[in-house]
Structure 1
């Protein structure tokens, strides 16, 4: 069961003008698709960041991975960490290994005729719930036509966006990407959502855009309204100050990002919910380990998302299904990017959830024609990195993303 090739394909796909504390999403998002070939006829699929440095690192480790057994994921991880060396951070190494590990697990499942959940200890749920991911957004990219979602720059626009999300996908919880406008405006938006969707769990994530004082004030104003407050302040110490006075749990994917960052967060009681992300934690097995760590310290668990396509969503669903204490609905950008997916059968949410596939591996197949088209778009774009701030400055030259913003 030797790995005979690792085919790495960077792609670009359409992304709406979604606003965040860093700026705004560019017209094209970048992603990397990996096809791991085993004995010439079994393909394992992986997906991850499309940044140029990730592509360069995959190219660097590729020769050492070829020839290894597809079941040697621990050895492959060791090889990746060794080859990338001390100049690459552990988180950056994990982001490279995670792409390869998912592809290995997909191939293992296909070889054994079992879903990836079985390789992670088995599924504890047959459906994985996801949350609608709401964004402030422009009607369309500057100079382009309005998209199907239209603008959302005030509470009424966000409520309309949420209503469409729920109508299309049946989501049972709502998350707003904050840190864009003054906190008073974002408090009003959350309250408008609460009025429009009574009893529905609500979250807001300003990505560390608020000072401790602002975070505490917002938490007080939204007491009894939020399911949890995600990363209001920028550091673990700052989060601890907020947590000491907030009535709702604090969640994070910015403070707890690796095993080394857990002890301080626990000691300070800075967060109560950790948002996992297999792309950063080093794959699906390490995400399961994070679940055990959270269980040990009584921390809740959910899942972070960035702009992604169906291979990542399949992996997210498989590991979520195999992680008993992942009890909160997971984040996903998928509704924003589904139309440009590269799998043969894009996912459909039912009641805001995805059924856990019992097919071998991840349960998805790659559409080679779509992959080739998205790769050509990548080549023609000349893009190699995501830069929300630079794009925003084309419209607002004085835009300052320095945190905290408020």
Structure 2
């Protein structure tokens, strides 16, 4: 299982105009697809962010892995560390998840290669990745409907006929109804930080009236002050399953946590292992949303799960805009992690294109059954990969910029980080 070649392919795929604290999604989202081509013909697949900084790192790393075994992940991580620490740094690909650091850059760059190694190992052994992670403890992984305020469509593009516009409580409820009816979701999460808190409280209350039995979550991406966060927590006492990242920083979250009756969740203030001691000591969070793309891969997330269980912190899973390789990795990880406290997040219902062949990934009764095949259980579609790579070359986007895109329509826009 020696690596003969490493292919790193940036892709761009259609993305709806989903609003968030940073702005609005651009017409195309970016991802990078990694293929580890082994001497015996096995190909391991990985996927990660597509921003130009991380792409350049992956392209520098790729040739250094040739000749290594996909089972020698320690050597592969060593190569990643050597390249990343010896090259100039750059801006963190996901700027909502904390300040950039060399350690985080290593973990982000290593993650798609680790997933690709596990995929290749599973294919060679004829077992699913979940078996390599200890064995599946659940046959299907529960996910929450990920609700967004959104425009009807991007200007100069075809309107979104499936979900349409959602700029008020009625629009949010209609979007939720479509997702629940289509996919059977049993939990609902609203991405907030878009409108004044009072409007988002009204949207949550409308969801509660429409779906009296479903757990609800609200995530304003740290848009609010501590005082506003406490007020919202009071207003939604008994309504929310958890409140995610209402305000910035661990100290700010700790202040809110002392007053809030529901757990506070995060994927913004605790996003690396060196954040955990302060987060635990200050009792700032009740739920941690892991993400293998920046925590360092699937096995590092299992280590994180053990730490959360030790300190009584609930565990769920964060999602960025992604394709099927990432979803498959998320499902195998969640299936093989006994300590999973809440339904996971996924953008997959919003995904209009993919690089994997259809059939292996399905959302059934609000969950994704673990793919049955060896490795990740998904098959790369080379024609789709070529088409989305060509789209990447044509679209001209090289870095996600929700704020810049929104300012083309609203020049005065500034993200309300911790100020509302």
Q: What TM bracket, shorter-length normalisation?
A: over 0.9
Task: Give the Å deviation of 1:403.
Answer: 1.2
Q: Could you list the per-position Cα deviations for residues 123-170 of structure 1 after superposition, in whole angstroms to 9, with x for gaps in the alignment?
A: 111110000000000111123332121100000000000000001100
Distance 1:223 1:142 in 2: 39
Deviates more, 1:146-155 or 1:179-188: 146-155
TM-score by length of 2: 0.95
Question: Which of 260, 266, 270 does residue 246 from structure 1 map onto?
Answer: 260
Contact 1:179 1:405 in 2 (8 A): no
Contact 1:216 1:242 in 2 (8 A): yes
Structure 2 partner of 1:155: 169
Structure 2 partner of 1:298: 312
Question: Which of 58, 78, 94 does residue 107 from structure 2 map onto?
Answer: 94
Task: Give the Å deviation of 1:21.
Answer: 0.4
Deviates more, 1:213-222 or 1:353-362: 353-362
Contact 2:226 2:252 in 1 (8 A): yes
Question: Which of 189, 197, 216 does residue 203 from structure 2 map onto?
Answer: 189
Structure 2 partner of 1:46: 46
TM-score by length of 1: 0.98
Contact 1:11 1:377 in 2 (8 A): yes
Distance 1:242 1:82 in 2: 41
Distance 1:172 1:131 in 2: 7
Task: Give the Å deviation of 1:402.
Answer: 4.5
Question: Which of 239, 250, 272 does residue 286 from structure 2 map onto?
Answer: 272
Q: Could you list the per-position Cα deviations for residues 332-374 of structure 1 after superposition, in whole angstroms to 9, with x for gaps in the alignment?
A: 000001x301111152211010111232100000000011000
Structure 2 partner of 1:222: 236
Structure 1 partner of 2:97: none
Task: Give the Å deviation of 1:401.
Answer: 1.1
Contact 2:362 2:369 in 1 (8 A): no
Question: Which of 147, 153, 163 does residue 134 from structure 1 map onto?
Answer: 147
Q: Could you list the per-position Cα deviations for residues 273-302 of structure 1 after superposition, in whole angstroms to 9, with x for gaps in the alignment?
A: 100000010100001101111111111000
**3-state DSSP of counterpart to 1:340:** coil
Distance 2:141 2:218 in 1: 21
Aligned residues: 405
Distance 1:72 1:116 in 2: 16
Name stretches of at least 5 consecutive residues in structure 1 with no aligned partner: none
Question: Which of 112, 118, 139 does residue 105 from structure 1 map onto?
Answer: 118
Distance 1:85 1:2 in 2: 25
Distance 1:17 1:110 in 2: 37
Contact 2:193 2:416 in 1 (8 A): no
Give 4+ residue runs of structure 1 displaced > 4 Å after superposition.
Answer: none
